[in-house]
Amino acid sequence: MLESMLALPLGSAAEVIVFLLLYRFTPLNGKQAAVVVALLALNALLIYSLIDWPGADVLAMYVAVLAVTAYLLGIVSHAREERRRDSRTGQRWFHWGPALIVIFFIVLFALDGVLVVISREGLPEPVAEWLLPKHRQQDNVRSVFPGVVARDYQKKESLYNQYLEQVKRQQQRGWQVSKGWLEQPQAGQPSVFQVQVSERDGAPVEYAQVSGVFQRPSDSRLDQTFSMQEIEPGLYRAEIGLPQPGLWALVLQVRRGEQLHELHASTSVAGPPRGPKN
């Protein structure tokens, strides 16, 4: 989070310094110097993204900020040049068109930055408490979608048919699966995740292999796979640490012999605890 917050202002500051050097010590005018600065910044960003891919959403935000910074430098320097010329002719140098474009892009990448931070870090706790309804502890993980279908099943009829058959078998089998965290999970800290599986009549489903993956919607590199241990008949636990706060998707599989029960769910992870205020 801190690195993301510092990268943008540092990148913009570097653009300003390079622009001033080019504008002051080369024969380039303001627009030409701004174009050179934009190309240098975007090339540096491209090299960085090839070394350490930050994600498409973050990359788009960086491109927007660096491009608009260069554009602003070009607009300001060009206006300064126009003002010098117009002061000799008495003409008006200010134009609303470029100003509106600048304001539009400033608002655009500001909103983009807010959305990227929320997607990676989650809502700040006071904002979340104000906007979101209260939830019970057992609802931290909620079931959304059963089945073993691939994400592109709508494009493949055969997989969709397999999905329908799997859902039918799961409904006929009647296994009851309850799941959740023993305590509210926090980013970067291990938390105990628990799954209880029982037959339709309430008898525990013993000796099953329970595994799954927590998927990060904004960055698949953060996906966390896990396997669970049976601590008592039908009760399975695993200690899992999710590295980032916010929303995570869950794909959970319960296997016993040839029987397979799969659930899709989602969970919310809180940010790391804050230190005491000085």
What pLDDT, on the 0 to 100 scale, is given for residue 128? 61
Question: Could you tell me the CA-to-CA distances from 167 to 86, 160, 214 in Å, in that order?
Answer: 74, 11, 21
Shared domain check, 141 and 108: no
Distance (Å, whole) CA 17 – CA 46: 20
Shared domain check, 105 and 154: no
**80-133 pLDDT, tens per residue?**
777 766 666 555 544 566 667 667 766 766 676 666 666 666 666 666 666 655
**Domain extent for 230:** 137-269
| Domain-located, residue 278 | no
**187-207 pLDDT, tens per residue?**
889 999 999 999 999 999 999
What pLDDT, on the 0 to 100 scale, is given for residue 258? 87
Distance (Å, whole) CA 263 – CA 199: 16
What pLDDT, on the 0 to 100 scale, is given for residue 224? 94
Rg of the chain (C-alpha set):
27
The CATH number of the domain holding residue 153 is 2.60.40.1930
Shared domain check, 178 and 204: yes
Last residue of a domain, one of 121, 148, 180: 121
Compute the CA torsion angle 203, 204, 207, 212 (nearest 10 deg).
130
Shared domain check, 86 and 111: yes
Shared domain check, 114 and 158: no
SS (H, E, C) 13-46: HHHHHHHHHHHHHCCCCHHHHHHHHHHHHHHHHH
Give φ, ψ of 247 to 5 degrees.
-85, 135
**43-58 pLDDT, tens per residue?**
988 888 888 777 776 7
What pLDDT, on the 0 to 100 scale, is given for residue 210? 96
| Domain-located, residue 131 | no
Q: Residues 131-154: what's their mean pLDDT?
A: 47
Distance (Å, whole) CA 4 – CA 18: 22
**18-38 pLDDT, tens per residue?**
988 998 899 898 889 989 999
Shared domain check, 173 and 260: yes
pLDDT band at 139 (very low <50, low <70, confident <90, very high): very low
162 pLDDT higher than 90: no
pLDDT band at 276 (very low <50, low <70, confident <90, very high): low
What pLDDT, on the 0 to 100 scale, is given for residue 99? 62
Shared domain check, 247 and 153: yes
| Domain-located, residue 276 | no
Helix axes 56-89, 96-121, angle to 10 degrees: 160
How many other C-beta atoms can be found within 10 angstroms of the C-beta atom of residue 236? Answer: 22
Last residue of a domain, one of 76, 95, 121: 121
Q: In what order do the strands lie in the sheet with 229-232?
A: 176-181, 190-198, 235-241, 229-232
DSSP string, the chain: -HHHHHHHHHHHHHHHHHHHHHHHHSS--HHHHHHHHHHHHHHHHHHHHHHS---HHHHHHHHHHHHHHHHHHHHHHHHHHHHHHHHHHT-----HHHHHHHHHHHHHHHHHHHHHHHHHH---HHHHHHHSPP--GGGSEEEEEES---TTGGG-HHHHHHHHHHHHHHHHHT-EEEEEESS--BTTSEEEEEEEEE-TTS-B--S-EEEEEEE-TT-GGG-EEEE-EEEETTEEEEEEE-SS-EEEEEEEEEEETTEEEEEEEEEEEBPPPPPPP-
**Count of domains observed in the chain:** 2
Shared domain check, 75 and 33: yes
Shared domain check, 144 and 117: no
| Domain-located, residue 129 | no
**220-273 pLDDT, tens per residue?**
888 999 999 999 999 999 999 999 888 899 999 999 988 999 988 999 888 776
